[in-house]
Each structure stands twice: as structure tokens, then as C-alpha cells.
Structure 1
Amino acid sequence: MEVGFLGLGIMGKAMSMNLLKNGFKVTVWNRTLSKCNELVEFGASIGETPAQVVKKCKLTIAMLSDPAAALSVVFDKDGVLEQTGSGKGYIDMSTVDPETSSKISQAITSKGGAFLEAPVSGSKQPAETGQLVILAAGDKGLYEESIPAFDVLGKKSFFLGQVGNGAKMKLVINMIMGSMMNAFSEGLVLSERSGLNPHDLLDVLDLGAIANPMFKGKGPSMLKSNHSPAFPLKHQQKDMRLALALGDENAVSMPVAAAANESFKKARSMGLGDLDFSAVHEILKMTKD
């Protein structure tokens, strides 16, 4: 199977590499084409525009930074829509709001193509090791056709029904994750300020009911102020904002998520947006009596 891949950021590059290493033919595109070069060394071909990629490939995957980028790649000149038609499948794995996903779906299907939204739960390391969780919704036939690729990219795939459900599930997950990161950061700072050894806190947490991979994986690096980006803070804040909008739409009170969003916004205003989302810890460390 030849697969097109649009967007070679932290996630897209790792996912494209996994497909190549598992025997897929892959044609890649990125707004900055030089980012394709490393993948070419592993056998990828380059498409100079999204339209070229779609023309060449029966199945095209996109992994883009935000709703604006997802819409641009589809609707702009030389975009996906120009070559979409019968027999073409388009899978958007970006994290976007349900409205964006629905708009893209309507455009693709109106030209005879098949559409699937499939945002993923997981960051850089799971993307590199093929351990993502894929949250798909839309065309069931395209989902079943894409299982061989999904089995390479992820450890589990879910089909969640109509377009919009995948986007909603991803926003709920990232809202919970962002809220947890804020509480975790507060706990680390509180333990240290009150005279405890924060490394002891990590050990105790890992043995209790709230043990989880995020605390275990991020905690030691956070204590060293090492926030090498696996999932950039600016993207986490974008997802918090979109989740809060989903809450507004459904009349759900979300005070914890709203407070967490304010912390991420403050961190972005301090120039921490390109660091890992764990860098929200830094603004708490700066807080003094």
C-alpha cells in the first residue's frame, strides 16, 4: 500500500518513519520541504504539494498543528481537495475541533472521496514506537481499509462512529491530561517548598492508586527543568481552549480545566510554548510568597 503523509512535525515525522520501516511506500509533504530529506534517505518520495500527494496515493494521512493548518492543507491552492475524488481516502489525524473536522469531511465526501478523522492519544515516544491510541470516526469502510497502517502506528484503534466523535474524544483526553499536569506540577512544588524530597513523592505516587505513565515518565525530567518537547505546550493550550469551547457548547461547567488553561496561557506568554507541556511546572516554581 502506498500512503501519502502531510505534515512532518514531531509526530508526523515519527509516524511516517514507522510506516517506511514496516514496508509501506510513503510519499511525504511538509510546508518546509527540507524536513522531508531525512525520510527520503529511508525510501520516502516527496510530493511538492498536498494535491500531488493525493493524486499519487489512494490513501493520504495528515498530521497538522491546529485547525487553521488542517483547513489550509485541504482548501488552499494545490490543496488536498483539488485531487480528491472517487477511490481516494483522506485521514486527518490532527487534533482539531469537531466543526473543523466536519467541514473537511463534507468537502472531501462532496467530491466523492472518503474521510476519516483519527486523532491520536500519545506523544513523541509512542509515535516513534508505534504505541499510539487511534480515535477514528467517519467512513467505516475507510477505517477497515486503513487497519494495516493503524496497526503499525498504534497499539489500539477505536472506531467511534460519526465524524466529530473522534475529535471530541481527543479533546476530552487532552483536557484531562492538561489538568493533571497542572495538579502534578503543584504537588512537586509544594513537596519541595514544604521540606520534602520531591523524588520521594514520585516514588510514593508510583506505588499508589494514582500511579500513571505520565507522572513516572515526566517527573524526573521536570525536577531537572528538562522540558524537551514531546508534546509542545502551545499545542496543549490550544487543546485546552478547544475543550473548553466544547464544554460551553454542551453547558458543562469545567472550573478545573479553565484554571489549567490559564496556567498554560501564562506559560506561553513567558515564551515557553515550544517546550514540552510539562514546562507549566516552571511558572509555579517562579511563584514566591
Structure 2
Amino acid sequence: MTSEYQGRPECRDFVNAGATQGQTPSDVIFAADVTFSCITNPDAAKELVFGNCGVLAEIKNSKGYVEMTGIDAETSRCIGEAIVSRGGRYLEAQIQGSKLQAELGTLVILAAGDHALYNDCQSCFTAMGKSSFFIGDVGNASMMNLIIQLISGVTIAGLAEGMALADRVGLSQNDVVEILELTQLNCPWILEKGKSMAEGGFPTHIPLAHIQKDLKLALLMADRMEQSLPLTAATNELFKHAKRLGYGGHDASAVYIRARF
């Protein structure tokens, strides 16, 4: 049986497909052997677990909980420790990929925590993605995800500045993308972002606000380790400004607007 909780209109699609809708997170935990959670940010993830009628109210008897929200390692460990203390099993499973990849079932899943639960979830991960990796203890997958997101954000920012400079000096941005395709920078993801910047449409594949959230979490992680990340810090400022301009819900390539002006 498939159960789900809450509140967004998209949930109706799952109910229409045969899922049972719970009124609270604890309703879903009660009805399911393994629950997958994927929401907006670390604070929302903790509220779902620790809040009134939350996950902890029904976690017991080896029930599994898989956290797929993009969170930091400290939040993941906090959630994991609470679930394990109630007799549950915990796995963090961080998602790498875009909206289109989610629709096509070609995501990459980075997992850490309970290895037996990871094995139990393989059929689900196979449906969601093309690959899954187990990276050891709770927190490792969250940290790895933030590192990949950091690299993605800095790359998009560099591409945006290059495209902005091309426009300023009178070069064709379409030519930039075409030439990139002929070089060692020929990467479908980079080309997709470049085309979005050249066309100015920014259809949402990875929301700008999500990348900025992960840049912020990466900077916090680096600060705790006294690791300098000057490029990431500058990139975060670009994304923050673009978000303030109202582009948080657009694709991450919309950071070009900030780079251009």
C-alpha cells in the first residue's frame, strides 16, 4: 500500500493513482513500513519529524524512514538519531538531477545510513533513478550532495558571466553555445543552461532558490571546518541577488540576469 501526506495540489495526482492520503505525517508512518520524505528545506524536514503528530509519534518496530530532502549533515544526523532511538531505521538519500530527470526516472541517488534499509529500497531507487551510491555513515550523503551542488552553482555562475560578457562585447551568445559544444566543455547540462541564457526563457529544471539554499549550506559546512570557499561565497551572493529580483522559482540559469546587469 502507498500512503502520502499533505497538502499540495499535486498530491491529488497520487491519490487518483491509488495512494491513501494521511491527515498528518504520523498517519503515513503508521500505515507504511518504509516512508520517503522529500520537502523544501532542513527546517521543514525537522518540523515534519519533530512537530505535532509528526514522524516520531509512530516510528517504531523497525519502520524505515528515508530522508530525500536536500539537507545538511547536522540536520540529517539529528533526524537519524531521533528515529533510531525510537527503534526505527534511517537512511538519507540525497537527489542529484533535474525536474526532467525526475520525470524520466534518471536521477542519481546518494545514500548513507542503514545499509539494510538501503538494500530494501533498491526497487524504489531503480524506479526513481539510473544509479544509486551508498556512502557510509549518516551525514556523508548530505555532505557529498552539497559538494556537487556547490560545483554546479559555481559552474552556472561562470557560464552566466561569460554569456553576459559575450553580449556586452557584441558576440553572439548562440555562437558561444555552439563553440562550447565543439570543445572539452561539451556537456549536455552546460549547453542546456547556455541555451536558456541565450533565449532568456529560463524554464525551470532546477530552481534557482534550491541552488542558493545548497550554496548557503555548503558555506556553513565549510565554515565549521575552517575551509575557505571564496568562489562559492561570491557565487552565493549572485544567486541571492537574483533571488531578491524575483527569480527564485525560475531555473538556476536565471542567475544570468544578475550577471548581465
Do they superpose with TM above 0.5? yes
Residue 201 of structure 1 corresponds to 176
Matched, 1:107 2:82: yes
Residue 72 of structure 1 corresponds to 47
In 2: Cα distance, 1:53 partner to 1:114 partner: 15
Residue by residue over 1:114-172, the C-alpha shift from the partner in whole angstroms, topping out at 9 and shown as x without a partner, is: 00001111120111011111000000110011111011111000000000000000000
Matched, 1:268 2:231: no
- Report the TM-score, using the length of structure 2 for normalisation: 0.97
Residue 138 of structure 1 corresponds to 113
Residue 19 of structure 1 corresponds to none
Q: Which moved more, 1:51-60 or 1:217-226?
A: 217-226
Matched, 1:43 2:18: yes
2:196·2:253 contact (CA, 8 Å) conserved in 1? no
Write the mapping of 1:83-162 to structure 2, written as runs, cut at 5 A: 83-162=58-137
Residue 3 of structure 2 corresponds to 27
1:64 positional shift: 1.1
1:105 positional shift: 0.2
Paired residue for 1:255, among 207, 230, 233?
230
Matched, 1:168 2:143: yes
2:156·2:193 contact (CA, 8 Å) conserved in 1? no
In 1: Cα distance, 2:193 partner to 2:19 partner: 33
Residue by residue over 1:236-269, the C-alpha shift from the partner in whole angstroms, topping out at 9 and shown as x without a partner, is: 1110000011111222211111100000111112
In 1: Cα distance, 2:54 partner to 2:183 partner: 50
In 1: Cα distance, 2:13 partner to 2:114 partner: 33
Q: For structure 1, list consecutive stretches of 5 or more residues without a partner in the other structure.
A: 3-25
In 2: Cα distance, 1:207 partner to 1:86 partner: 56
1:279 positional shift: 0.9
Secondary structure of 1:169's counterpart equals: helix
How many residues end up aligned between the 2 structures? 261
Residue 17 of structure 1 corresponds to none
1:222 positional shift: 2.1
Matched, 1:280 2:255: yes
Runs of 4+ deviating beyond 4 Å: none
Secondary structure of 1:157's counterpart equals: strand
Q: Which moved more, 1:139-148 or 1:34-43?
A: 34-43
Residue 194 of structure 2 corresponds to 219
2:112·2:139 contact (CA, 8 Å) conserved in 1? yes
Q: Which residue identity does 1:273 align to in structure 2?
A: G
Paired residue for 1:187, among 162, 169, 172?
162
Q: Which residue identity does 1:259 align to in structure 2?
A: A
Secondary structure of 1:86's counterpart equals: coil
Secondary structure of 1:234's counterpart equals: helix
* C-alpha RMSD of matched pairs (Å): 1.2
In 2: Cα distance, 1:218 partner to 1:234 partner: 16
Residue 234 of structure 1 corresponds to 209
2:30·2:58 contact (CA, 8 Å) conserved in 1? yes
Residue by residue over 1:148-199, the C-alpha shift from the partner in whole angstroms, topping out at 9 and shown as x without a partner, is: 1011111000000000000000000000100000000011111122121111
Q: Which residue identity does 2:162 align to in structure 1?
A: G
In 2: Cα distance, 1:194 partner to 1:108 partner: 57
